[in-house]
Structure 1
Amino acid sequence: MTDAELPLPGVRRKRKPTVKAAPVPSATKPIASIWVDTGVFHLDRPFDYLVTEELSEAAQPGVRVKVRFAAREVDGLVIDRLDATDHDGDLTPIRRVVSSERILTAGVIALIDAVAEEYVGTRWDVARLAIPPRHASTEAEPSRPSVGHEIDRHAAVKHWGAYVAGEAFLARIEAGGGPQAVWHAAPGADWAAELAAAVAVTVDSGRGAVVCLPDATDVARLGAALDRSIGADAYATLLADAGPSARYSEYLRIARGSVKVAIGTRAAAFAPVHDLGLAAIWDDGADTYEEPRTPSPHAREVLRIRAQQAGAALLVGGFATSVEAEHWVTTGTAHPLRASRETIRARLTTRISGATEKDLERDPTARVTRVPREAYEAIRRGLERGPVLIHTPRRGYAPALACGTCRTPARCRTCHGPIRLSGSAEAPTCGWCGAVENPWRCIVCAGTTLRASVIGEARTAEELGRTFPQIPVIISSGTRRVTEIKHRPSIVVATPGAEPLVDGGYAAVVVLDTWLARAAGGLRADEEAVRRWSNAIGLAGAEAEAIIVGDPSDPALQALVRWDQPGFAHREAAARAEAHLPPSASVVTVTGDAGAVDEFLTVAAWPEAVEVYGPTQDGDEWCAVVRAPRSQRDALTTALREVMRVRSARKLDAVKVRVDPADL
């Protein structure tokens, strides 16, 4: 190179522009339809991308990818591979395949799409509920193979002999059918064994099953039953508490087809089980089944949609019957599975002990007798044969106090919060600010004595311990839960949902403070109370007795005596139908700023027969209620989605839309 050819100091030589090679489309199905995490409602639809020959093998439906969208790299899920596209112009190629694991099946993709439509949400929001976060190191490990054993069909069918049409229901599943049933479990039934039997019959027919349960304790109980019926490791367990690695590992076992059965809490409803034959849910009235995150689908409804799409059987069971499940029976959507009256009478004797509402009007102190003599006698008889369960609705020692003279609720002088006792030797303290109120003085009558207006499980256990000094007393509540006890004479004081299990069941069950269990109010107060009482009484063993302390004329308690929770749910459904409330009607709540909610209601093109109430202020937000007949459900959700799309495109203030919330 001569001196004339050398570049001048400080002057950069121009580089020739790099010419990128045009992407080579895949020889087969070069188009990928992808759900993209756009973050906005009006772009909630699949987008077409080019699949290059390099990524063709990995970019299969159900895998995670990275794509270019709006000048940034975002996450995507491949939902289909196509031969052509209706997009004008060149398609952007997929940037990369994050993982070749097919985490979604075609059935789950269709389910996510339907749930998003039903609950007015985006596909990506629903997919986020369905798919656990990726754990890269877990994908490199092979899935644990299924270790099942030969299924005893006759033993499985025998479990359902106590139910009218129970064996016929299993026969339909075995034949490849998709019956839908609402199962009212008999008192004292080993529901886990019965549910495991239905799963076993489904697996024996060559199909898979998904089962949702309220919490980890119930999942563990069903898991133990499945170990006996289909074999250890023949199913996967999906629990959020298991941790990212363990949860994703179990999810991959299902997605890879290593197992045909998935059990878990509400997220298990989306488990990618291949060739689904049974979708089941136990205790569907539990509040843990309603997803708190947008768009808040209910696990029962997700399983209903999934069973219909897959042609699978649907089984909704519990000791109590939810209003929604009974509505399905009434409308002919599902068949009832119930034990005969003879079976129920042979298993359990239930009585009501307590003051009627008229008695309380004459003598308000009649409620002070929390444990009547009849209940004490039942406890004594039960202790001769085994453990006795005392069901009380509140935890703590004395969570609510009142003046011993005028009965005015005791309040804190500093913040006006409730005064409570945490133990017999403790000073009264405020439940809000923690201030010690010793001495305490009533602001109405200047009295200095306190009485417990509400008694918790700790005080109840203390009183029963003094009455039965030779008997061990076990306390189980949300903060100190006991999962299982031995079958020996003992008194178990438990709050709702924390009742320990015992082989052979309890010899007696006493339900206290029934008035307090319904004091919370709300649309589902009575239904929730009956559900909790039924779950406690359902733990009774053979030939046990149950005592319910409450008003003998109360229809809810009468339903427990007859073990007719479906009848109670039927009456609740009829009352709600008269008030045009779910499940006979569809109700939507729209929550947000006052201006945003008002604008939302004004812009919407509502179908006929829609009623709009509000908006009214609810704390810092405003809320409106939109109501429509059940027949207008699809038209209502279509109108809601259209408003959401328009508002999203115009970048207006966001509102939260909830379809058929569990409570208003």
Structure 2
Amino acid sequence: MSARRVARVLIDSPLPQLDRLFDYDIPPELVDAAVPGVRVKVPLRSLGRVVDGYLVEVGEAADAERPLSALDVVVSPARVLPERLYRVARRVADRAAGSASDVLRLVIPRRMVRAEKAWAAAPAPAAPEVAPETLRWAQEVLGAYPGLTSALAAGERLAVDAPPRPLTLPDGTVIGAWAVLLCAAAVSTLAQGHSAVLVVPDHRDQEQLAAALAAHLPGDAVVRDDARRPAPARYAAYLRVLADAPCVVIGNRSAVYSPAARTGLVAIWNDGDPLLGEPLSPGVHARDAALVRQELEGGALLFAGHTRTTDVERLVAVGWVRDVPAVRRQSPRVVLSAPADGLAQARIPSQAFAAVREALTTGPVLVQVARPGYAPVVVCADCRRPARCVHCTGPLRVRSARRLPECSWCGRAATGWRCGHCEGSGLRLASAGSERTADELGRAFPNTRVIVADADHPVTQVEGRPALVVATRGAEPLADGGYRAVLLLDGDRMLLAEDLRIGEFCLRWWSDAAALVAPGAPVHLVGVTGPVARALATWTQPAYARSELAERAPLKMPPAVRVASLEGSPASVSQALETLRAEVPGLAPDAVIGPARQPGEDPPLDRALVRFEYAQGSVVCRSLRASVVADAVRGRRPRRGGPGRPTLRVRVDVPDPDL
């Protein structure tokens, strides 16, 4: 008698108690179609309906007499969940006390029938060929970092500081030198018959990377994995990645899971950008997912940036990632400028003002500001307290020079406004956004073209002729030939933000802007002193990351330790913490912070933080996940009448703990 064959299915559901493999009988008519990786529909008794899932594996039943439900249908013959992707998703979810289905939901696009039919009818893609001259070019670019080529081939974990300069391609497209570096690493990997996955924060970075790759590789060798693309195009690209032919995948944070064939390189650009942190459950940063994937699959892992995050620097310090310095250190010319006293140049010191005037005779000048708009902050003219809306208490702002202040929340004009503190009726503009700065500079530099670049006015590239480009942080356009000067304003305001990593953020914003300057041109940082300013002036960002890490270690702040947050009903949080202390005896006495009652929540909601060492990660996450499942099972039947009980929510690796 032959063994009983069963299909082990992962249910596509956000319910934590369903985060395991369920056994189903395979009907005779589905034996040939029920192969690992396909989409299926299965009955679920607890929900009383048919649900979607993925057939993970086909095996033998442990108990031949146990009655099992049967597969309902195989949705598609496409094997969209290869075994390598499931292993990564399972490990990432376990590390974050989350569900594997939540991870897969970020990776696998929804099915598009027409795109799938076109994929099934088309021949399998051929392996792309790398021309010998292209490979020589890539080796020459990588040669600027001694040992980088051999380290990539050996599958090491590496950190490099990208060259801080812009480059112009033969077709006139301006890109950062970092994109050329990642392109060369991908070309070298593809020449060895392996795929490369390049992960960048946003679409602007993707365009630069795509332009660099288009100059050296055929179009069919590059696959874009971008959630902004139309659903059929994204699904077609995902099906191409599943082929045996290697390719180069470029995309945003979810691309780090891309199941490309024989992946030999995963590269992450600018891992300190918050856009690489996944906001959806289980909230795993692309950097951490890449580390898990490299440990499981092998291949090289490359972290590149103009700055070094404390997370990567910690990995370098413990020997898990190797720092590869360049043969020749490159850095822009940074000048620390003190604020001026003059009224006309209140935000710009005379030295920086003169540098801008001189630079405008030859080309564009970049001025970076903290916030968009005209006047994002308005205060009472008498007591200097922030002005609030009399209707909803929202903050007031001014959109343009000729408009009344209005509420940022409800949009009502502040007519007849009076201060709730001193009864004053006058208002004062306390800040200057990108548009107000552009107006002021336009008056200071008459007959000069002024360009505003922010979220409302997106600009990706400017010409090499004279112009003042006023941009918010992260929205700076590239300039043909590089900017002839860069002026960094509002640095003191940026550093006042209440964030554990604000120093890292500011150094990254300023370094990325400084990397857009032409060779030898000045970069003026206005009104900032201290360690962050010195790190920018000396271009020693890794040293700053080391000092930050050393300061956080005795305080037990991330990334020196891992931090998990628990949020739920008071009883659920208390029970989870009690279970955690019982199952992790090595937990430090001060590991738990809280619980603290969250204001304005009905029913009551508590939040607590748990700090733990990296070596304790697996047992802590296992305990927290078990508590989430137990709480979800207890709360399946809500109480009659009144609000429902909040479920326990856990998030691991919180970057900035704040009760």
User: Which residue does 2:329 correspond to in 1?
Assistant: 343
Describe the superposition over 1:220-275 as per-residue Cα deviations: whole angstroms up to 9, x where unpaired.
11111111122223111111111211111111111134552211111111111011
The offset of 1:606, in angstroms, is: 4.0
Which residue of 606, 616, 627 corresponds with 1:632?
Answer: 616
- Kindly report which structure 2 residues correspond to 1:83-98, keeping only aligned pairs within 5 A, or say none: 83=60, 85-86=62-63, 88-98=65-75
Determine if the alignment matches structure 1 residue 50 to structure 2 residue 34: no
- Kindly report which structure 2 residues correspond to 1:288-367, keeping only aligned pairs within 5 A, or say none: 288-339=275-326, 343-345=329-331, 348-355=332-339
Determine if the alignment matches structure 1 residue 428 to structure 2 residue 410: no
| 8 Å Cα contact 2:576-2:624 kept in structure 1 | no
Determine if the alignment matches structure 1 residue 657 to structure 2 residue 650: yes
Determine if the alignment matches structure 1 residue 567 to structure 2 residue 543: yes
| 8 Å Cα contact 2:376-2:433 kept in structure 1 | yes
User: Which residue does 2:173 correspond to in 1?
Assistant: none
The offset of 1:402, in angstroms, is: 2.8
User: Which residue does 1:540 correspond to in 2?
Assistant: 517
| 8 Å Cα contact 1:148-1:233 kept in structure 2 | no
CA distance in 2, matches of 1:573, 1:544: 32
CA distance in 1, matches of 2:408, 2:650: 34
The offset of 1:68, in angstroms, is: 2.4
Residue segments in structure 2 that go unaligned for 5+ positions in a row: 166-175, 637-644
The aligned amino acid for 1:349 is: R
User: Which residue does 1:61 correspond to in 2?
Assistant: 36
598-607 vs 524-533, greater mean Cα deviation: 598-607
The 1:562–1:440 alpha-carbon spacing in structure 2 relative to 1, beyond 3 Å, is same
119-128 vs 51-60, greater mean Cα deviation: 51-60
The 1:457–1:205 alpha-carbon spacing in structure 2 relative to 1, beyond 3 Å, is same
CA distance in 2, matches of 1:437, 1:484: 38
Determine if the alignment matches structure 1 residue 645 to structure 2 residue 629: yes
User: Which residue does 1:16 correspond to in 2?
Assistant: none
The aligned amino acid for 1:150 is: A
User: Which residue does 1:6 correspond to in 2?
Assistant: none
CA distance in 1, matches of 2:287, 2:139: 25
Describe the superposition over 1:376-399 as per-residue Cα deviations: whole angstroms up to 9, x where unpaired.
122123223321111101101111
The offset of 1:565, in angstroms, is: 1.1
User: Which residue does 2:141 correspond to in 1?
Assistant: 159
The offset of 1:450, in angstroms, is: 4.1
The offset of 1:119, in angstroms, is: 0.7
Determine if the alignment matches structure 1 residue 150 to structure 2 residue 131: yes
CA distance in 1, matches of 2:279, 2:535: 31
User: Which residue does 1:15 correspond to in 2?
Assistant: none
Determine if the alignment matches structure 1 residue 173 to structure 2 residue 152: yes
- Kindly report which structure 2 residues correspond to 1:512-591, keeping only aligned pairs within 5 A, or say none: 512-552=489-529, 554-591=530-567
User: Which residue does 1:79 correspond to in 2?
Assistant: 56
The offset of 1:331, in angstroms, is: 0.8
RMSD of the alignment, in Å? 2.6
The 1:298–1:86 alpha-carbon spacing in structure 2 relative to 1, beyond 3 Å, is farther
CA distance in 2, matches of 1:655, 1:84: 34
| 8 Å Cα contact 1:30-1:84 kept in structure 2 | yes
CA distance in 1, matches of 2:343, 2:626: 57
| 8 Å Cα contact 2:129-2:191 kept in structure 1 | no
Describe the superposition over 1:337-390 as per-residue Cα deviations: whole angstroms up to 9, x where unpaired.
3335x5325xx21011125xxx9xxx9x99982111111122123223321111
The 1:56–1:245 alpha-carbon spacing in structure 2 relative to 1, beyond 3 Å, is same
Is the partner of 1:343 in helix, strand or coil?
coil
The offset of 1:97, in angstroms, is: 0.8
The aligned amino acid for 1:638 is: R
| 8 Å Cα contact 1:121-1:294 kept in structure 2 | yes
CA distance in 1, matches of 2:488, 2:550: 27
The offset of 1:80, in angstroms, is: 1.8
The offset of 1:199, in angstroms, is: 0.4
User: Which residue does 2:641 correspond to in 1?
Assistant: none
Matched residue count: 623
User: Which residue does 1:11 correspond to in 2?
Assistant: none
Describe the superposition over 1:491-515 as per-residue Cα deviations: whole angstroms up to 9, x where unpaired.
1110111111223322211110001
Is the partner of 2:58 in helix, strand or coil?
strand
| 8 Å Cα contact 2:313-2:546 kept in structure 1 | yes
User: Which residue does 2:640 correspond to in 1?
Assistant: none
Determine if the alignment matches structure 1 residue 123 to structure 2 residue 100: yes
How does the TM-score come out when normalised to structure 1? Answer: 0.88
135-144 vs 322-331, greater mean Cα deviation: 135-144
CA distance in 1, matches of 2:634, 2:303: 42
The 1:394–1:93 alpha-carbon spacing in structure 2 relative to 1, beyond 3 Å, is same
CA distance in 2, matches of 1:649, 1:233: 48
Is the partner of 1:321 in helix, strand or coil?
coil
| 8 Å Cα contact 1:580-1:629 kept in structure 2 | no
Determine if the alignment matches structure 1 residue 618 to structure 2 residue 618: no
CA distance in 1, matches of 2:73, 2:200: 37
The offset of 1:420, in angstroms, is: 2.2
Describe the superposition over 1:543-572 as per-residue Cα deviations: whole angstroms up to 9, x where unpaired.
2210001233x1111100011111111111
CA distance in 2, matches of 1:497, 1:29: 58
Asked which structure has the greater CA Rg, the reply is: 1
CA distance in 1, matches of 2:15, 2:392: 44
Which residue of 268, 279, 283 corresponds with 2:255?
Answer: 268
Describe the superposition over 1:160-211 as per-residue Cα deviations: whole angstroms up to 9, x where unpaired.
3433x3xx1222333xx21111122232151111111100000001101111
User: Which residue does 2:642 correspond to in 1?
Assistant: none
CA distance in 1, matches of 2:525, 2:564: 37
The offset of 1:39, in angstroms, is: 4.8
